[in-house]
Each structure stands twice: as structure tokens, then as C-alpha cells.
Amino acid sequence: MIESTQSRPAAGIAFLIAGMAAISINDMLIKQLSGGYPLHQLVFARSAIGLVFGLALVQMEGGWTILKTRQPGLHLLRGLLVVLSNMSFFIALAVIPLADATALFFVAPLFITVLSIPILGEKVGPLRIGAVLVGFAGVLVMQRPWAGDADLQVDRMILLLPVFSALTYALMQLMTRKLGAESKASALSIYIQVVFILVSLGFWLVAGDGRFAEGSDNASIVFLLRAWVWPSPEDWGVLIGLGLNSAVIGYCLAQAYRLTDVATVAPFEYALMPMAVFWGWFLWAELPDMAVWIGMTMIVGSGLFVFLREQQKARKIARSAIPSRF
């Protein structure tokens, strides 16, 4: 018997907020480690450790049999989209403030609204189309087209990486509800961890010696392709924490979207924004400038408007504000 996914809104919201807190900690730790380790090594360590914790959750939710699926291809595609979303976001984190990257990623619900037209056959009215345009205008403001390269202090292509991350996340999220109806939250998390491990091992086989990063002065490229190094003793605890956090994120977000309808739970994902601002200020003395605050307000405001319209219309399709980047 398929368990209801829309009957426990309070529990869904609680899982969602816990997942957002775990994501904020994960993003902070990845940014802290980006100067000394390659991204694919961090992804491998986090996912391998997270897989151990995830398998324990599988046992709690019903045992090995819950890992069986009739849709392996869709789960693989979902996992690859999460990997693309996750890694493009983290590459950007190496060089831009955490709050800026997080705000740009919040265009995900706007992408979901637009993509629902060709993918789900949705009819989107003028008010929601207007909100989408306002949100994308906010992205443009955060790109600061009036600023020169010297004032911007970062390649404009790097500023687009969180937007690409949001696009791949949106494609993934449109698949989640259908898969969640037949798969337990722990199983959904395991599938993603396995894909992360396979992709990171592929990077190690091709670029693990760091040869592709040699001579590059682009911090994002170096973060992606530098050579693997043996972790220092003080970093082992951080890596284990990343793995545990990864399992918590995957489980909490999958559980949140299984337990209640997306229009109810998704607006609470915006709790991630003040968390990102806090970590940026607390650890790196980074506070958004006026352009970022304006763009952030436009993006978040338009996303919330879209969700309010969805609730008014009692939509039941897969809609989410931001990340399960895991």
C-alpha cells in the first residue's frame, strides 16, 4: 500500500526546516574547505560517509527491500541532475560570497514555473508570469551589468553558476513527487549518494592527479580539478560531519516532500537565506552590498508570490523553492 504523501503538513515542515539548517552548515563547511581540497574529493568523502548513515536509515525504514525500484533510469537521471546542481553551486562558492550564491539559487521556483508549461502542460497566468519576470530581473541586478570587471572582482560566468544550479535543480524537482510516491525517503537519499560517489570517482580517475589545474589562476577551476590530498588530522572530523550532514539533508528533504504537498512546505525553504547571510557575516565578514540586497529581495519576493498563487489555486504538482541540492 502506498503511503500518503500529503497527510502530515506539520511533520513535513519540521523536516524541511531541519534540512535547510543542515544545508546551511554543509555550504559553510564546503566553502571553508575549498582552499585546500578538490571538490570531487570532498564530494566523495561526504557521500561515502553519508552512504553509511543512509544505509542505517534504510534498515530503520524497512530493510534492503525498499531499495528495489521499477524506475532505475529515472532515479539515475534524478541523481545526475542533483550532482550537476550541487557541483556547479559549490564551484561558485569558492569565489563568491555564500549569501550571493544562495540568493541566485533561489530562482529555482521560477524555473519550475516556466518549465511546468512544456513538461507538465501547466497553464501559467499573467500574474505568475509577471512574478517570474521580476525574479529574473533580480538575477540581472545581482549580475551588476553596469559594473566593470575590476569592480565586479569575479568572472560573470561564475555568477551564472548558481543560476545553472537552480535550473538543473528545477528539472530534478519536477521528478521528485512521482518517484517519492513509490520510494522511501532513505532510498531516495541512497540513490543520490551512489551517483555522487560514481561521479566523484570518475573525476578522480581523469583528473585526480591535478594536472588539469596546473597553471590556472581561476579559483573555481582549481577547486574543481586540483589533486587529491590526504586529509589533515583536524579535517577528519569536518569530513565525517559533512558525511553525516549529507545523510541528514537527503533524508529530511525527501521526507518533507513525501509527507505533505509542496505548496505547503516549499516556502519554508527560504529560511536558508538568513542562515547563509549569517554564516557569511560570522565567518568571513561578508555582508551583501545594495545590489545584492535589491536582487535578493526581488528573487525571494517573486518566489513567495508564485507559491501563494499556487496555494490559492490548490496545485498539487511538484513545486519547490530551493534546493535539495543533495
285-318 pLDDT, tens digit per residue, is: 999 989 889 999 999 999 888 877 766 665 444 3
pLDDT (0 to 100) of residue 176: 64
Helix (H, G, I), strand (E, B) or coil at 308: helix
Q: Please determine, for residue 67, whether its predicted confidence score (pLDDT) is greater than 70.
A: yes
% the chain with pLDDT above 70: 87
Q: Please determine, for residue 152, whether its predicted confidence score (pLDDT) is greater than 80.
A: no
**What contacts 248, CB < 8 A, 6 or more positions away?**
18, 19, 22, 53
CA distance 63 to 207: 37
CA distance 240 to 250: 16
| Listed range (56-70, 75-89, 225-239, 309-323) with the worst mean pLDDT | 309-323
- Mean pLDDT of all residues in the chain? 83
> pTM for this structure?
0.82
Grid cell 577547486 in the structure block, residue: 223
163-193 pLDDT, tens digit per residue, is: 999 999 888 877 765 555 566 767 877 888 8
CA distance 80 to 258: 21
pLDDT (0 to 100) of residue 7: 54
| Listed range (86-100, 166-180, 248-262, 312-326) with the worst mean pLDDT | 312-326
pLDDT (0 to 100) of residue 101: 93
More confident residue, 187 or 96: 96
pLDDT (0 to 100) of residue 172: 83
Grid cell 523553492 in the structure block, residue: 321
CA distance 324 to 167: 12
More confident residue, 84 or 180: 84
Q: Which cell numbers hold the place of 200?
A: 566523484
More confident residue, 206 or 69: 206
Grid cell 561564475 in the structure block, residue: 158
Q: Please determine, for residue 266, whether its predicted confidence score (pLDDT) is greater than 60.
A: yes
Confidence of residue 281 (pLDDT cuts 50, 70, 90): very high
